[in-house]
Amino acid sequence: MPYRAPADDIRFILDKVVPVAPLSATDRFAEATPDLIDAMLVEGARLCDEVLAPLQRAGDTDPPRLEDGVLRSTAGFAGAYAKIAEGGWIGTAAPVDYGGMGLPQTLNMALQDMMSGACLALQLNPMLTQGQIEALEHHASDALRDLYLPKLISGEWSGTMNLTEPQAGSDVGALRTRAEPLGDGTHAITGQKIFISWGDCDFVGNVCHLVLARLPDAPAGTRGISLFMVPKFLPDADGNPGAANSLGVVSLEHKLGLHGSPTCVMAFEGAVGWLVGEPNKGMAAMFTMMNNARLGVGVQGIGVAEAACQKAAEYARDRVQMGPILGHPDVRRMLATMRAEIFAARAIALSCAVALDMARATGGSDWADRAAFLTPIAKAYGTDTGIRVAEAGVQVHGGMGFIEETGAAQYYRDVRVTAIYEGTNGIQAMDLVGRKMADGGDMALRLLEEVQSGAEAARGASPDLAEAVWSAAETLRETTEWLLAQEPRDRFAGAVPYLRAFALVLGARFHLVAWAEGGARRALAEVFIRRILPQHTACLAEAREGAAGLYALSDEDLVAG
């Protein structure tokens, strides 16, 4: 049974659980009617099922190659990308003035969910381009926007972001790439970048790199970083790709998974670049792209989880060991847990997307604050769910899961990096308990109030489930207040389990809403609330341990064992 894009599940969430209807009531998204959203989900699902999903294994077994400095992508990727571009899918949420559809990011995230499950390695290419589109829209000059946005939105050109260097990973302020003014408004960019996804591509006319670099005499650290547009080919007077720029792919990284997506070591040797935004303000511009990508990466985890779960369920149905293994209690436990966490993660991600869209449509700071708070949760919980589900999928397959030909292991290998790139999940958790609680925990406590109000409203129909959700939110509120009184190191030591606890409570809230719709939704909600939600107790116990016990071990103890 091939992959089936989960359009029905997404449609249910957008209709009943995280309603998208308020978006169409705004002037900005008035065209995003239920009929339009439904039609795009149907067409997007068809693209995923018929065009992208058949390439999933090919990307793993026939990865891109670097031949005499020329990148050769996986056979079939070029044709599939052309279908994505021709359908206008890259510009779903892009500005209308430059050729985009101007539709909600919520719909775009739903489509990216399906594309990620179909073929994550290829989906990563347009996702990065979408992030670059947003960064240019908000920070580039009119001239740069006019030149680059139409071609990026149409899919003629693709976009990347170049942050990481061998000595500068999460510590971006340590980067050494230089930008020397050339006297004509351009700059010579010199340096090396690593881990650049789709740093080259043989099925677009130009690859457009957003590169972080330092101007002469720039302040130290992140305050002295600027952002530059550095294209593979220099646009000519008509805006078409002209002479080759002084940059290239040094090598391709040998990776655990995601083989179909070339991860490049890039060398810039006096390459011509144009400043994006203000000098020394590059991090603000790059964070626009990164925040877009963080939600997108969370959605990638959810998409892969969906595909891994489908494959495991199919195998369990067909595999006979003392009867079909689908009937074995532990196999059913794994599959039910997988399905319940996917639903929770998907609802959290879509609720974050709705908040982003409402902020854009209304200008309301409350919506923007909500989106900012939910982003690290959506990224970390979405990718952790992808990893857990893909790992469980291997287990459902038993010994065959360890055999590459089944394809079960590929999902785990492919999704594992999502917890690392665009800010590790540990960084997401520290962001949650740090900057996102700089408001004194106001947004966190408001969200918990909403959870408890929803639970109160559900007491009449399902008193035991409602009580479980209400009590979990109350315990989380108490731990939130405790965290707010701690020093940063103690907050950070418990940040990861705290984030998971918050995600479990939010997921339980959405499952409780789905429970009211009856049918199989009730059974799945009970699995989550009765079997998974109780894990929040252990998470919060760890979160409240602080940092002392971790630092009681010396560095030598940790290194030597």
Give catalytic residues, as residue numbers.
422
Helix (H) or strand (E) holding 157: strand 157-162
* Structure-block tokens of residue 205: 């006319």
Cα–Cα distance list, 361 to 26, 33, 75, 336, 372 (Å) = 6, 15, 41, 37, 16
CB 182 within 8 A of CB 216: no
Element (H, E) at 17: none
Q: How many CA within 13 A on the CB side of residue 438? A: 7
Radius of gyration of the chain (CA): 23
Dist CA 380 CA 428 (whole Å): 7
Q: Are 412 and 393 in contact (CB under 8 A)?
A: yes
Q: Collapse the DSSP code of 499 into the 3-class scheme (helix H, G, I; strand E, B; otherwise coil) and give the result.
A: helix
| C-alpha separations of 395 from 119, 330, 409, 513, 518 in Å | 22, 11, 10, 31, 30
The span from the CA of 348 to the CA of 85, in Å, is: 28
HSE at residue 545, side-chain half, CA atoms within 13 A, is: 19
Tell me the C-alpha distance between 475 and 472, whole Å.
5
The DSSP code sequence of 346-367 is: HHHHHHHHHHHHHHHHH--HHH
State how far the Cα of 106 lies from the Cα of 196, in Å rounded to an integer: 26
Residue with tokens 């559809």, as numbered in its chain = 101
Please name the helix (run of DSSP H) or strand (run of DSSP E) that holds residue 249, with its range, or none.
Answer: strand 247-252
